[in-house]
Amino acid sequence: MKKILSTPDAPAAIGPYSQGIWTGSLLFCAGQIPLDPKTGQMVSGDIGEQTKRVLENIAGLLKAAQLSFDHVVKTTIFLTSMDDFQTMNEIYATYFRDNPPARSTVAVSALPKGAKVEIEVIAAVGDNPAEGGKTVSDTSG
């Protein structure tokens, strides 16, 4: 069973996809590019400005779900140039200050609308070991 998440605090979908999907205790958010949610237009500027806009779009999705960045368990970052990694990472770190999520970062040849960065997140509620939920055991041997 899935439930659609939709909010004006993040850009409207520009294709046949949902801004976010709830299933069980997980929220899967569509990748966000640096679109201004009010105008639907790309923000101009360098990787720093684009990264801030993307993370603010994610903040809007999380807020609509009554969650915060603390609930994010996994991010995937797409960059059109790994030369932008350091700047993106510095800004990313201001949003994920404590106990950052697992993360993958990949370089891609292009992103929609000429964006330099796209970030998708998965957030979770409940059964968090840090909140006294289920415990995790090392079974690596």
Give tens-digit pLDDT for 97-123: 999 999 999 999 999 999 999 999 999
pLDDT in tens, 27-86: 999 999 999 999 999 998 899 999 999 999 999 999 999 999 999 999 999 999 999 999
pLDDT at residue 128 tops 80: no
What pLDDT does 14 receive?
84
Tokens of 66: 């009554």
Note the pTM of the prediction, 2 decimals: 0.88
pLDDT on residue 60: 97
Q: What is the pLDDT of residue 1?
A: 87
95 lies in some domain: yes
Contact indicator for 121, 29 with CB cutoff of 8 Å: yes
Confidence grade of residue 90 (pLDDT, cut at 50, 70, 90): very high
Within-domain flag for 93? yes
Contact between 37 and 57 (Cβ < 8 Å)? yes
Q: Is residue 137 part of a domain?
A: no
Which residue, chain included where needed, has tokens 């520009």? 14
How confident is the model at residue 127, as a pLDDT?
Answer: 55
Angle at 19 between CA 62 and CA 51, to 5 degrees: 65
Residue 65 sits in which domain range?
Answer: 3-131
Of residues 131 and 87, more confidence is placed in: 87
CB 115 within 8 A of CB 77: no
Q: Where are the alpha helices (DSSP H) in 65-132?
A: 85-95
**What sign does the dihedral 129-135-136-138 (CA atoms) show?**
positive
Number of folded domains that form the chain: 1
Query: 116: domain CATH number?
Result: 3.30.1330.40
Q: Is residue 102 part of a domain?
A: yes
Residue 12 to residue 127: CA distance in whole angstroms: 31
| Residue 139, in any domain of the structure | no
If you ran DSSP here, which 8-state letter would residue 118 be given?
Answer: E
Asked if residues 93 and 66 have their Cβ atoms less than 8 Å apart, the reply is no
